[in-house]
Structure 1
């Protein structure tokens, strides 16, 4: 799944990177392609809508610097939005539903990155 998204995102960014100037239509087309790739990967529709709307708003409102390639600027905007969506490194408090209900915690990462160890430590702490 992540390989599919990665391939599609790379293709979208490659199409934008060669352009000297990005138009509103280019941005809208790229955002539409991103939306379709996220939906193909079974990302929740509400999450996709929020991500797309905020990305589109920032990309269209962004004043692209003359010294920076517009494709790189758009890539940075999409990257920042993905980091915000998946969670940045700022330590946020874990929000559980309560002691009498079950809370679901999603653990994702590459093989060997420490998911099982982290799940064990989290279970011990909780």
Structure 2
């Protein structure tokens, strides 16, 4: 009877299996002592591909982040400009309202003066009529 070999197929698979939650083709192959370098090279290549994909994803996310920051800066600048314009318009409206209020006061004063003048005119006419009647 043969003694168990320390380099059995199961031991080799356990030693070289990458720490991953998904099985790759390399994981499923039985790795024999002669195939260890090939398995290591395949694993290295897989890791490099994954690292490359990860770098591409990171770069894409970085670019998207930069674009969003630029849009945000543009939006904030537009918002600030809009706030300035709205404030200027508000000041113009306030000034216009003050002018209208002043004109309304002036108009009310003028109307009051005209009403007093009309009353005096009417009073003078009545007085003249009485004098005219008295002279006849």
TM norm structure 2 = 0.29
Which protein is bigger by CA-based radius of gyration?
2
* Higher relative contact order (Cα pairs below 8 Å, separated by 6+ residues): 1
TM score, norm. by length of structure 1: 0.31
